Structure 1
Amino acid sequence: MTDRRTVLITGTSSGIGLATAVAAATAGWNVVATLRDTGRADALRAAVEAAGVAERVRVARLDVTDPASVAEAVSGAVAAYGRLDAVINNAGVGQLGTVEQIGVEPFRSVMETNFFGVVEVTLAALPHLRASGGRVIAVSSLGGVIGQPFNEAYCAAKFAVEGFLESLAPVAASTGVQVSVVEPGPVASEFVASLGPSVPGLIAAAGPYEAAFKAYSGTTEGLFDQAQSSAEAAASVVDVLTAERPAFRVQTSGLARDLAGIKLADVDGSAVQAFTTPWLS
Structure 2
Amino acid sequence: MIGLSAVVTGGSRGLGLLLAEQLLIRGCAVTIAARDTGELGRARDILTEGRPGARVRAVACDVTDRASVATLMAEAADVHGGIDVVIANAGIIQVAPLESIEAEAFRSAMETIYLGALHASLEALPWLRRSQGGGRLALIGSVGGLLAVPHLLPYSCAKSAVAALAEGLHAELRGHGVSVTAVHPGLMRTGSHLAAEFGGNEAAEFAWFSALAGSPLVSMDARRAADRIVTAVERRRTRIVLTPMAKAAGLTHGVAPALTTRLSALAARALPSPPEQGQAHDMHKGRDVEPGPDRALHPAARRLRDWGSALNDRAARRLNQNQRPDHAHSST
Both structures adopt the same fold (TM-score exceeding 0.5): yes
- Structure 1 window deviating more from structure 2 (52-61 vs 6-15): it is 52-61
**Structure 1 residue aligned with 2:265:** 277
Distance 1:153 1:135, change over 3 A: same
Which whole-Å deviations, capped at 9, do the CAs of 1:149-188 have from their partners, x for residues lacking one?
1111110000001111211211111311111111111112
Output one character per residue of 1:78-127: Cα deviation in whole Å (capped at 9) or x when no partner.
Answer: 00011111110001001122333211111111100000111111110111
| Structure with greater proportional helix content | 1
Deviates more, 1:131-140 or 1:151-160: 131-140
1:1-281 alignment to 2 at 5 Å?
4-52=3-51, 55-132=54-131, 133-198=134-199, 200-201=201-202, 218=208, 221-222=211-212, 224-226=214-216, 227-243=219-235, 245-246=236-237, 248-266=238-256, 269-279=257-267, 280-281=269-270
Give the counterpart letter for 2:261 in structure 1: Q
Change (3 A) 1:53 1:70: farther
Aligned to 1:272, what secondary structure does the other structure show? Answer: helix
Percent identity between matched residues is 29
8 Å CA contact 1:96, 1:197 repeated in 2: yes
The Cα of 1:59 is off from its aligned counterpart by 1.4
Instruction: Look up the SS of the partner of 1:148 in the other structure.
Output: coil
For 1:5, the aligned partner's letter is L
Cα distance change, pair 262–5 in 1 and its aligned pair in 2 (3 A):
same
Aligned in 2, Cα 1:71/1:109: closer, same or farther, shift over 3 Å? same
RMSD: 2.2
Q: Per the alignment, in what secondary structure is the counterpart of residue 198 of structure 2?
A: coil
**Structure 1: which 5+ runs fail to align?**
204-212
- Show CA shifts across 1:33-69 (max 9, x none): 1111222124312322235166221111221011221
Q: 1:199 to 1:45 in 2, by over 3 A?
A: farther
Query: Relative contact order (C-alpha < 8 Å, sep 6+): which is higher?
Result: 2
Question: Which sections of structure 2, spanning at least 5 residues, go unmatched?
Answer: 271-332
TM-score, length basis structure 1: 0.86
1:257 is matched by which residue type in structure 2? K
State how many pairs are aligned. Answer: 264
Name the SS of the counterpart of 1:191 in structure 2: coil
Structure-2-length-normalised TM-score: 0.74
SS at match of 1:60: strand
Distance across 2 between alignment mates of 1:251 and 1:271: 21
| CA deviations over 1:119-141 (Å, ceiling 9, x no partner) | 11111011111111212101111
